[in-house]
């Protein structure tokens, strides 16, 4: 038995089991109503990522509405399924860790939970990351973070108060001193 | 402007009503120029455009929208991607209406080729990237010197005055560099380089003797001109410019043509074929299908300009079969549809620069930076792995939230703070490489499949050769090296496998040449075999050079119009 075969032999069984599990989970369409019924939950998750500080937060910007719309209409099925399942997983993890509902957790507890999730779901090394994404879709936490950021930064409140935005600049100043507490331009 | 096609039966008076001095097919960049030149020279000119009308300013309904005004915030839907797998790679919610629906306008890819296009008045003059560069004798002589394909029948001196002419009219911002391979033009002041771009320019000057970094030469007005502009630095050009500050047919050439009183523009009018009279040995008109009613009409003129764009023009020629031309109009050479080229892109590198943390910019530049070709310019720059060369386009900016979120760990106030502050400076560089003319890269008409209007669906067959593959490696390497020498870190050298066509510089399908046996057009863009038909869109290109090509189409169009009108006056056509 050469080395390559040995490896296949070892992972053979578990490999087959995971494969059929993934086949089931990836092709099955999760119930989209779960997104609407979790709207308040998604709003709190978004607020945990981008909270209100001296500037508006994700909830002020109603990030959850566009996040749900993107999940329904702009997201491939695998990624969306991962997201819906991620919501449930997060809920049960929360119960297990803090013995209470996410909605009743403190901001610190919520952050701790999401940070933990982010570590676990980190994509593998870049090359595997790409393959992983193609076959399995994007994982829950990267999607949540990406969509929350985009939802906030393209919203009226996010763009004009969280960031800096000018619809018609009218002039170009190519290289100027950075103002104190200058926000990043919302659009390039 | 008539909105839909008038249908008139062809009795005696109608023949007269349907008869013009000139017909121009297509209203994009080159058709707009043909319309302006012919109308200004006093010819009653009919422009036939297959798409709907787009009225300048009035129909730019997304131009003033903020990101949050779009239902999907400029993100394409899954439906967009399924219905428009090709065009959705180029559009977003802000300019989607300027691209065709792939489902409605299918073509067959024998191997992957992205045919990115828009069917409406103005064509791709609304969505183009506005980069404008002159070709030089390095380009015009290359085929002859290397024994590739056929020789260009023109040289730089033939086209130079016409580059002057169109540049003065279009308004192109740029900086003179005195390079033989990229001749200077008639420029408005350049769009200034930002801090990192200026630093990078200085570094390249210090580290290399064979190349320069220059502000890209773009058809954006840095100063007001003829009642247009100036640019407001919004960088939303592909939605149409309410300030008329970049060049489009809709905002510039078509209004100029209309002012003369000589223009008739009919939209929703597909030119199906050119009608040839074998007794007269001339084309006498075109057969047109109304896109909505599917009614057919014929229009007649003394001269015909084909400006439907490279692939569409070749398909019109191939579809115009007659006893005299069983292989398609003016196609005894068998070259029509062949020698399809596109620039190849998306090999390059990006890197981060630590420094200039206290610097920023105001306003969004619609331009970029350009590094003119520096390979195979002379004996010192001769390469052993490939012939010809590439130009580099790039951009420098401070990273913002759309890059930063993926690189920033954690959640909460500190995450928010990091992604809403200007990030580190980044420079991105990518090559636009010359593709050689290969006879086998071609479009043909499918013998069976038909579109909604009963016209043959076209097939595209395209593959890059070894020269292009070797050049890609060099692009990646040279971009990386320039960034390294300039002290950039986190350098990511890339070579994305993009389908050909993605540069949207398709050309070559009815090439110019000296010999009617091996080419379709002569040195005046006139068909060798049908002297009153002129083709001045990208299909005329004998080689692709590395430069964005539309400026050359404009100059060749203006030049051919003068030649055609002179010929008409002398009774030669
Ligand atoms: C995103 C993007 C960026 C680009 N950037 C640049 C750049 O920076 N620099 C550059 O030089 N070029 C650029 N280009 C390419 C440039 O747009 C084209 O080279 C140019 O528009 C070609 O001009 P044309 O007149 O040949 O065709 P088009 O502008 O495409 O116009 C052709 C017209 O003909 C019409 N038509 C087609 N078939 C028929 C028919 N059978 N009957 C009647 N009408 C017909 C079409 O509807 C269309 O309106 C870019 C293109 C895109 C999409
Ligand atoms: S950036 Fe300038 S040219 Fe482009 S749309 Fe805005 S104002 Fe017009």
SS (H, E, C) B154-169: CCHHHHHHHHHHHHHH
Q: How far is the CA of B247 from the centre of ligand 2 (A)?
A: 10
Flag whether A178 is in a domain: no
Q: Taking CB atoms and an 8 Å cutoff, what residues of chain B touch A111?
A: 411-412
What ipTM was assigned to the predicted interfaces of this complex? Answer: 0.93
- Mutate which: A175, A177, A179, vs B, most B CBs within 10 A: A175
Q: Residue A5's pLDDT band (boundaries 50, 70, 90)?
A: very low
- Tell me if A49 and B364 make a contact (CB, 8 A cut-off): no
Give B1-28 pLDDT, tens digit per residue.
343 333 334 444 556 789 999 999 999 9
- Answer yes or no: pTM beyond 0.90: yes
Q: Is the per-residue pLDDT at B178 higher than 50? A: yes
Q: How far is the CA of B365 from the centre of ligand 2 (A)?
A: 9
Read off the pLDDT of each residue in B399-408 and give the average, rounded to a whole number. Answer: 95
Give B215-269 pLDDT, tens digit per residue.
999 999 999 999 999 999 999 999 999 999 999 999 999 999 999 999 999 999 9
The predicted pLDDT at position A126 comes to 56
Flag whether A181 is in a domain: no
Read off the pLDDT of each residue in B29-53 and give the average, rounded to a whole number. Answer: 98
Flag whether A185 is in a domain: no
Q: Is the per-residue pLDDT at B517 higher than 60? A: yes
The ligand 1 atom at the shortest distance from the C-alpha of residue B122 is 49
Q: Of A107, A115, A169, which is closest to B362 when you measure between CB atoms?
A: A169
Q: How far is the CA of B235 from the centre of ligand 2 (A)?
A: 6
State the burial class of residue B49 (Cβ atoms within 10 Å of its Cβ: 0-12, 13-18, 19+). Answer: buried
Q: Residue A135's pLDDT band (boundaries 50, 70, 90)?
A: confident
The predicted pLDDT at position A27 comes to 58
Backbone angles phi, psi at B457, to 5 degrees: -75, 140
- Tell me if B235 and A188 make a contact (CB, 8 A cut-off): yes
Nearest 10 degrees: CA dihedral of B308, B311, B312, B316? 110
The predicted pLDDT at position A83 comes to 96
Flag whether A5 is in a domain: no
Handedness of CA B494, B499, B505, B509 (dihedral sign): positive
Nearest 10 degrees: CA dihedral of A129, A132, A138, A139? -90
Residues shown for chain A: 188
Q: Residue B340's pLDDT band (boundaries 50, 70, 90)?
A: very high
Question: How many domains does chain A divide into?
Answer: 1
Q: Residue B498's pLDDT band (boundaries 50, 70, 90)?
A: confident
Instruction: Give the separation between CA B274 and CA B25, rounded to whole angstroms.
Output: 10
Read off the pLDDT of each residue in B314-324 and give the average, rounded to a whole number. Answer: 98
Instruction: Give the separation between CA B547 and CA A48, rounded to whole angstroms.
Output: 49
Q: Is the per-residue pLDDT at A25 higher than 70? A: no
Q: How far is the CA of A5 from the centre of ligand 1 (A)?
A: 55
Q: Does B497 touch chain A (CB under 8 A)?
A: no
- In B332-371, the residues whose Cβ lies within 8 Å of chain A are 357-365
Q: Taking CB atoms and an 8 Å cutoff, what residues of chain A touch B233?
A: 169-172
Q: How far is the CA of B242 from the centre of ligand 2 (A)?
A: 8
Q: Taking CB atoms and an 8 Å cutoff, what residues of chain B touch A188?
A: 235, 364, 397, 400
State the burial class of residue B433 (Cβ atoms within 10 Å of its Cβ: 0-12, 13-18, 19+). Answer: buried
Rounded alpha-carbon distances, angstroms, from residue A148 to A69, A163, B168, B414: 12, 15, 47, 15
Q: Taking CB atoms and an 8 Å cutoff, what residues of chain B touch A156?
A: 66, 68
Handedness of CA B173, B179, B181, B183 (dihedral sign): positive
Read off the pLDDT of each residue in B422-442 and give the average, rounded to a whole number. Answer: 98
Read off the pLDDT of each residue in A6-28 and give the average, rounded to a whole number. Answer: 43
- Tell me if B422 and A178 make a contact (CB, 8 A cut-off): yes
Q: Does B77 touch chain A (CB under 8 A)?
A: yes
Read off the pLDDT of each residue in B429-452 and give the average, rounded to a whole number. Answer: 98
The predicted pLDDT at position B20 comes to 98
Do residues B123 and B26 touch, judged by C-beta distance below 8 A? Answer: yes
Of B94, B191, B237, best ligand 2 pocket probe by most atoms within 8 Å of the beta carbon: B237
**How would DSSP label each residue in B196-240?**
HHHHHHHHHHHH-SS---EE--BSB-SS-BTTB----S---GGG-
Q: Does A150 touch chain B (CB under 8 A)?
A: yes
Residues with a CB atom less than 6 Å from ligand 1: B 25-31, 48-51, 90, 116-117, 119, 123-125, 127-131, 270-271, 307-309, 312, 316, 504-505, 537-538, 548-550, 553
- Mutate which: A169, A171, A177, A181, vs B, most B CBs within 10 A: A169
The predicted pLDDT at position B11 comes to 44
CA B554 to chain centre: 10
**How would DSSP label each residue in B40-61?**
HTT--EEEE-SSB---TTTT-T
Backbone angles phi, psi at A143, to 5 degrees: -65, -45
Give B521-559 pLDDT, tens digit per residue.
999 999 999 999 999 999 999 999 999 999 999 999 999
The ligand 2 atom at the shortest distance from the C-alpha of residue B235 is 1
Q: Is the per-residue pLDDT at B200 higher than 70? A: yes
CA A104 to chain centre: 21
Q: Does A26 touch chain B (CB under 8 A)?
A: no
The predicted pLDDT at position A7 comes to 33
Q: For chain A, what percent of residues have pLDDT higher than 70?
A: 80
Q: Is the per-residue pLDDT at B70 higher than 80? A: yes
User: Containing domain of residue A137, as a range?
Assistant: 27-162
Strand partners, B349: B429, B493
The DSSP call for residue A158 is: I
Flag whether A97 is in a domain: yes
Instruction: Give the separation between CA A151 and CA A139, rounded to whole angstroms.
Output: 18
Do residues B320 and B273 touch, judged by C-beta distance below 8 A? Answer: yes
The predicted pLDDT at position B156 comes to 98
Residues with a CB atom less than 6 Å from ligand 2: B 220, 231-237, 241, 243, 245-246, 366
Flag whether A108 is in a domain: yes
Q: Is the per-residue pLDDT at B166 higher than 60? A: yes
- Tell me if B233 and A172 make a contact (CB, 8 A cut-off): yes
Token digits of residue B20: 């013009």
Flag whether A1 is in a domain: no
Give B365-390 pLDDT, tens digit per residue.
999 999 999 999 999 999 999 999 99
- Report the range out of A10-19, A24-33, B464-473 with the highest average pLDDT: B464-473
Token digits of residue B166: 């169109």
Instruction: Give the separation between CA B101 and CA B108, rounded to whole angstroms.
Output: 15
Instruction: Give the separation between CA B195 and CA B199, rounded to whole angstroms.
Output: 6
Q: Does B66 touch chain A (CB under 8 A)?
A: yes
Q: Does B426 touch chain A (CB under 8 A)?
A: no
Half-sphere exposure of residue B463, counting CA atoms within 13 Å on the CB side? Answer: 5
Flag whether A9 is in a domain: no
Residue among A58, A135, A66 at smallest CA distance from B405: A58
- Tell me if A182 and B360 make a contact (CB, 8 A cut-off): yes
Residues shown for chain B: 573
Read off the pLDDT of each residue in B53-74 and give the average, rounded to a whole number. Answer: 98
Do residues B295 and B288 touch, judged by C-beta distance below 8 A? Answer: no
Q: Of B362, B420, B423, which is closest to A162 when you measure between CB atoms?
A: B420
Instruction: Give the separation between CA B464 and CA B483, rounded to whole angstroms.
Output: 28
Residue among B435, B441, B264 at smallest CA distance from B339: B441
The predicted pLDDT at position A139 comes to 93
Q: Of B192, B397, B421, which is closest to A172 when you measure between CB atoms?
A: B192
Q: For chain B, what percent of residues have pLDDT higher than 70?
A: 97
Instruction: Give the separation between CA B70 and CA B181, rounded to whole angstroms.
Output: 44
């Amino acid at each position: 038995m050469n080395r390559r075969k040995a490896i296949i032999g070892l992972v053979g069984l578990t490999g087959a089991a995971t494969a059929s599990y993934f086949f089931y989970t990836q092709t099955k369409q999760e119930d989209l109503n779960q997104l609407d019924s979790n709207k308040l939950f998604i709003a709190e998750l978004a607020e945990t990522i981008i909270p209100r500080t001296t500037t508006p937060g994700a909830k002020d910007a109603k990030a959850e509405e566009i996040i749900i719309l993107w999940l329904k209409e702009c997201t491939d099925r695998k990624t969306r399924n991962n997201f819906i399942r991620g919501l449930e997983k997060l809920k049960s993890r929360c119960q297990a860790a803090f013995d209470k509902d996410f909605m009743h957790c403190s901001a610190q507890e919520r952050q701790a939970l999401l940070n933990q999730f982010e570590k676990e779901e980190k994509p593998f090394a870049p090359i595997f990351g790409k393959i992983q994404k193609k076959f399995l879709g994007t994982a829950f936490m990267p999607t949540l973070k990406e969509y929350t950021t985009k939802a906030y930064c393209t919203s009226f409140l996010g763009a004009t108060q969280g960031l800096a935005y000018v619809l018609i600049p009218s002039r170009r100043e190519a290289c100027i001193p950075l103002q104190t507490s200058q926000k990043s331009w919302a659009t390039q | 402007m008539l909105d839909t096609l008038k249908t008139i039966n062809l009795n005696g008076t109608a023949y007269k009503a349907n008869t013009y001095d000139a017909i121009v097919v297509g209203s994009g960049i080159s058709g707009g120029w043909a319309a302006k030149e012919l109308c200004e020279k006093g010819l009653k000119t009919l422009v036939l455009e297959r798409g709907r009308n787009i009225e300048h300013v009035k129909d730019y309904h997304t131009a003033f929208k903020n990101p949050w005004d779009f239902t999907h915030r400029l993100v394409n839907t899954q439906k967009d991607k399924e219905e428009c797998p090709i065009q959705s790679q180029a559009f977003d919610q802000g300019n989607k209406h300027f691209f065709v629906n792939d489902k409605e306008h299918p073509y067959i890819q024998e191997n992957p080729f992205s045919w990115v296009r828009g069917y409406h008045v103005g064509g791709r003059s609304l969505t183009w990237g506005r980069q404008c560069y002159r070709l030089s004798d390095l380009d015009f002589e290359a085929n002859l010197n290397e024994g590739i394909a056929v020789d260009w029948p023109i040289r730089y001196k033939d086209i130079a005055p016409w580059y002057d002419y169109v540049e003065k009219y279009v308004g192109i911002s740029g900086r003179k560099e005195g390079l033989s391979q990229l001749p200077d033009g008639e420029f408005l002041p350049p769009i200034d380089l930002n801090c990192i771009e200026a630093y990078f320019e200085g570094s390249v000057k210090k580290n290399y003797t064979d190349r320069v970094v220059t502000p890209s030469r773009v058809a954006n007005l840095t100063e007001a001109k003829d009642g247009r502009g100036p640019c407001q630095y919004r960088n939303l050009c592909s939605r149409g410019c309410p300030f008329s500050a970049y060049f489009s047919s809709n905002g510039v050439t078509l209004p100029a043509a209309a002012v003369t009183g000589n223009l008739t523009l009919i939209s929703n009018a597909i030119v199906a074929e050119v009608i040839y009279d074998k007794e007269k040995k001339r084309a006498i008109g075109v057969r047109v299908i109304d896109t909505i009613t599917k009614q057919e009409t014929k229009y007649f003129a003394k001269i015909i300009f084909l400006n439907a764009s490279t692939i569409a023009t070749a398909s019109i020629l191939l579809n115009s079969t007659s006893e005299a031309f069983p292989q398609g109009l003016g196609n005894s050479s068998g070259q029509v549809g062949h020698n399809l080229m596109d620039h190849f892109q998306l090999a390059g590198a990006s890197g981060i620069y630590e420094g200039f943390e206290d610097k920023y910019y105001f306003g969004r530049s619609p331009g970029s930076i350009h590094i003119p070709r520096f390979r195979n310019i002379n004996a010192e720059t001769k390469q052993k792995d490939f012939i010809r060369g590439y130009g580099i386009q790039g951009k420098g900016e401070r990273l913002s939230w759309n890059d930063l979120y993926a690189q920033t760990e954690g959640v909460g106030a500190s995450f928010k703070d990091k992604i809403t502050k200007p990030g580190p400076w980044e420079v991105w560089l990518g090559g636009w490489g010359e593709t050689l003319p290969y006879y086998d890269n071609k479009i043909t008409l499918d013998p069976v499949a038909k579109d909604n209007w009963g016209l043959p669906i076209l097939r595209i067959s395209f593959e890059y050769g070894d020269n292009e593959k070797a050049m890609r490696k060099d692009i990646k390497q040279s971009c990386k090296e320039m960034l390294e020498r300039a002290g950039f870190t986190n350098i990511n050298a890339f070579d994305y496998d993009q389908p050909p066509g993605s540069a949207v510089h398709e050309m070559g399908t009815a090439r110019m040449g000296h010999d009617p046996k091996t080419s379709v057009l002569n040195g005046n863009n006139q068909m060798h075999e049908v002297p009153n038909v002129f083709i001045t869109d990208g299909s005329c290109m004998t080689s692709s050079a590395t430069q964005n090509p539309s400026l050359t189409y404009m100059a060749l169009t203006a030049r051919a119009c003068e030649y055609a009108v002179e010929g008409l006056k002398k009774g030669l056509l």
